[in-house]
Each structure stands twice: as structure tokens, then as C-alpha cells.
Amino acid sequence: MIALLITFLAGVSVMIGALIIRVMHDTERLEHFSMAMALGALASLLVFDLYSDLQEEVEPVFGLWLTLAFIAAGVILLAVLDKFSPDHEHHEDTPETHDHENAEHIGLIAAAALLIHNFVEGMSVYSVSMMEPRDGLLFAIGISLHNIPVGMLIYSALRESHRGRYEKAVVLGLVTIATFLGGLAMFAISPLMTEQFVGFLLCVATGMIVYIVFEELIPHIIKTNDKVMNITGLVIGFALVYVSSLIG
């Protein structure tokens, strides 16, 4: 049940991002800070926790090369899913980007892609949480910080559409609970999971974190000019992992 709660918390941040757009006007700095914190948390989780888990618990089962192959599979899986997700960087405003029908199309396509994307991430968060709850919680925190801009993107696009409030809420709600549904799916098949299968899923989750760190977060941070904000976010992200390691 703890693992399911962790996956639920990972998805709630999508709705938080939507609420931020609703109540705030200048959200760019907050988005950048969130991404910097996500980078610090996920990178340190990767180096200080998951690496040792893989080395001590997974590599003895599969061997080095098969472990690396499964990690690569996680990278490839998220890369493929990401191809269907719109970029959540800020773009230059044009008349086309404010067109109602275009905004509605972007919002719905983004929601559909991210529904699948977050479902798979939920499976990974649950898998990590089952092996080590503290690592799963840290993974969920990193995913949450990364998903805040996602909620901003979807709400911004849907806000310009002709859809009613109820329909917009349904779209946002589905994307929000997708992570939890992924965890729920893993919970349903957990009686069938073997040590080898759990190890495989941990490798895939690690690969997904590698992809998020190197393909999304680092490029975003490099493009951000506010170095003080970047460093502050990175330090706080690292501190989250360090403090949790003291508690654990």
C-alpha cells in the first residue's frame, strides 16, 4: 500500500502545475526552479541509491551486460514515448499558437501522450518502491517536480479551447491519476512477480531516469540563464536525497 501511495503522490503534481497556471501570471521562473530541483533529486538518486541497488541486487542475478541492456531498454522506451509528447519548453507567441482549435488539439494530444507516458512511469515508481520505499519516494519526488511544467502545458493549451470546465477537469484528472493507475496495474500482478522480473523493472526504471536527466532536465538547465536559481534548485534537490538517506 505504501508503494501505491507513492505512485499517487507522483501524479498529483500534474494538477499542481495546472493550478499554478490558473492563479499565477509569471510562471517561467517557477518552472525553471522546479526543473533544477528535479535534476538534483533524480541525478543524486541515480548515483547514490539506484547504482548500489543494481550492483548488489540485480547484477548478481542477470550479470553486467544483461543489466546494462535492460537499462538501455528503459532509455529507449521513454525516448519512444517522448516522441509523441509535445515539447514543454516555452515557444515564441504567434497568432497560430493562440488559435482556439489549435490549442484544443495540442492540449488533447499532449494529454493522450502523457497519459501513456505517466502510466509507464507509475509502473516504474511502484517497482522501485517495492524494492526500497525510500528510493521510490525520492523517484516520485523527482517525477513530481518534472511533471509540474507538464500540468502547466496542458492547462495552458486547454484554457484556450472551447471545452467546458467539466471536460477540462476530466482530461487533467486522467493525466493526474495515470501514474497511480500504472502503480495499480503493477499491484494487481504483484503476486506473479519474481525476483528476476522485479530486477528487470528496476533496470527499466533506472533507464527512464537516465533519459529524463540527460535528455530533458540537463538541456533545460543549460538553456536557463539564471545560474543562481539553477544552483539553488540543484542543491535543494541533492539535499532531499541526502536528508532522506540520513533518515533511512
> What sign results for the dihedral spanned by CA atoms 210, 212, 215, 217?
negative
Please indicate whether residue 178 or residue 29 has the higher confidence score (pLDDT): 178
Residue 118: domain span: 2-20+29-247
Task: Give 162-169 contacts, CB < 8 A, sequence gap 24+.
Answer: 162/100, 162/101, 162/104, 163/104
Q: Record the cell numbers describing residue 149, joined without a space.
A: 511544467
| Summary mean pLDDT of the chain | 75
The C-alpha atoms of residue 5 and residue 160 are separated, in whole angstroms, by 33
What pTM did the predictor assign?
Answer: 0.64
Alpha helices in 132-194 (DSSP H): 133-159, 165-189
| E-state strands within the chain | none
The C-alpha atoms of residue 202 and residue 125 are separated, in whole angstroms, by 9
Per-residue pLDDT averaged across 100-121, rounded?
A: 62
pLDDT at 95: 41
The C-alpha atoms of residue 8 and residue 204 are separated, in whole angstroms, by 20
Concatenating the DSSP letter of every residue in 183-224 gives HHHHHHHGGG--HHHHHHHHHHHHHHHHHIIIIIIHHHHHH-
Per-residue pLDDT averaged across 166-182, rounded?
A: 82
> In this predicted model, what pLDDT tens digit does every residue of 4-53 receive, in sequence order?
777 887 778 778 877 876 777 666 676 677 778 778 877 877 877 778 87
Q: Record the cell numbers describing residue 21, joined without a space.
A: 497556471
User: Does residue 1 surpass a pLDDT of 80?
Assistant: no
Q: Record the cell numbers describing residue 31, joined without a space.
A: 518552472
Concatenating the DSSP letter of every residue in 39-60 gives HHHHHHHIIIIIHHHIIIIIHH
User: Does residue 71 surpass a pLDDT of 80?
Assistant: yes
Least confident of 62-66, 153-157, 194-198: 153-157
pLDDT at 186: 85
The C-alpha atoms of residue 193 and residue 200 are separated, in whole angstroms, by 10
Please indicate whether residue 242 or residue 66 has the higher confidence score (pLDDT): 66
Give residue 93's pLDDT band: very low, low, confident or very high (50, 70, 90).
very low
- Provide the number of structural domains found in the chain: 1
Geometric angle at alpha carbon 237, from 1 and 15, rounded to 5°: 55
User: Does residue 108 surpass a pLDDT of 70?
Assistant: no
pLDDT at 96: 42
The C-alpha atoms of residue 57 and residue 51 are separated, in whole angstroms, by 10
